[in-house]
Chain A
């Protein structure tokens, strides 16, 4: 012990004292220096511009930014707009349907894949593959599949069931559900992968104990495994919620907001009003509303999860 103390006190004396002081400070500051550019960029380009959008939403800007103060006039105009209400209700339908169905399908696929089957890796890759496609490709492909003239409806007609109709894509009441179909197809593989990882992390001994107690597999799944996947539900929900709110390219490729504007979402609303209709102030107000929707949904959920994990 003495030898090591001696060596540590003599070794620094061999090097010039000034350089070493610099080395220590550098060691302490290096991580902060490396992260600093990204941090500053995020601060400016994300939060700074969110603040700028908020400022714009309080101005009467039309073609270019104009910094007079207009109070909440843009928000009033926004909520007077029938197309905005349609976009909001579509977001509720699409967001709710997409998240719930994705979680259910993902969980089901993960549970089935967890049954120690052959070729599990291969099947897992197939289910995960749609995630690799861009939303534009997904939207275009599903546009062709769901088209009544040459898609599923025609296929079933050719099989002989001539009374079958599946024209959701061109029906104003049902077009938003086609967006759910395409989005679920794309994202449920990813949710499945998350749940599979969660399932693999569950301690085997609990399951064995339950089996010894005489519980059947469905009961074990319902009472033990699924509740212990709670953190995975939480992270999947966060990811799916943000995909749902920012859905723009999928809607544009699949229905272009149509027929009419029946499958419009806040993201497409904001784009068309801010950039093509010379109403930047209104677009900024709709963008702020999108942010508030996300915050309103995600923050309480996060808060309850964080509180639970601290207690649990």
Chain B
């Protein structure tokens, strides 16, 4: 019967309950720690989101800065283009005023000079020549349509008075009418008063005009205001239906006479391209995904670590349980073993006796070793030591069977050789796989005569006067090998005060070493010091087995006393 090891041993219900109680504190600790892992995971998520936020902010502000910079460059370009176009409006009017001054208000020359610049699709829709004198304001000539300003003479007078004190172009502003117009004038000091060349340019009816598709500014929305503010009342023209312009804007101011134009633009599409515009969003999405992924991963790693820790704890508990069960099993085995061995040795006049049984270091199973001392009559005893091959309950059962059979045959007063022969019928190695070695000694205490019969067993040691001798006898086959086995006995005389020791192989057998070396070691140990029998037996089972005997051991002794 081979040992399958303590691990496979079934756990008893009682011990499970016990272990469960132990779990109480441990479990609550586990729960305490299980809540914490979500904190690091949340921390990772928050950190990731914060980093994402910073990156998004950087990308967005870089984008905004670049857009503003590009837009500013574009609006400057546009402003420069507009400024370059303004002389084509101002110069003819200034020249016509100078001409009127030089010709003393010659209407014909004025008309022929300015005529080509007036009309639909040209610079002006209406140009008129006025004289501003001490006698009042008089309209000398009109080219093109009638000036809207003429409908409000008082306003015209105040404007011309202001223009007369102004060397440069004077702008009256927006004039409302069927078609909105922008009015402006140049004055020239004459001999009989100031000559005023006054022009009106048409604005688109709803002040809405798209840029030509060939323009390099088609990617911009724009609005042009008169003045230095973006007042909707001063809007000249725009490509938008509603104002003000939204989004990123840039503006520039272009001087126009005593007034100015304010030009505002906004990009229709991101000037840096849509990728730059979408980059912050892209970073945000990827950052959020990565942050949540990292948090999830952190949680999983922490969960795994917790599982591993829990596993380690349960393994530790199982190991602890196994150690406990192992110890328990060992105790059970030893209890059973001792129950199968004699409860006490009989008192015999003239000798003291003693015996020991020791389980092997791995003694979780009962063994097949035994000893016995049977009192036959007042002066004779039977000293028996045996060893059933194998281990476990089968070996123990065979051992008990043999031990009790010996008692029965001894009671019939059978001699040792006869006893062993009869035992041979009880065991059969070919059926059970077991055999037993038995040393059966009939000791005549009074005559100090020992009759030794061995069924495959190691010889007994006889110690006298500090020296030991193994009693050699003819060794028969172990019990169980041959059912018709015959055994021969050998008789020796023991000196007075001598000690007889019978033992099993566990006491002397070591791997890689001859039995003779083990026997010699026993002989040396047994004769090394004079002690009483009990001390000697204790010493032998501890000292000789100190190097970790793996087999169980039985030893029995008799000592003649005076």
Q: Do A and B come from one complex?
A: no
Measured CB to CB, the residues of A under 8 A from B are: none
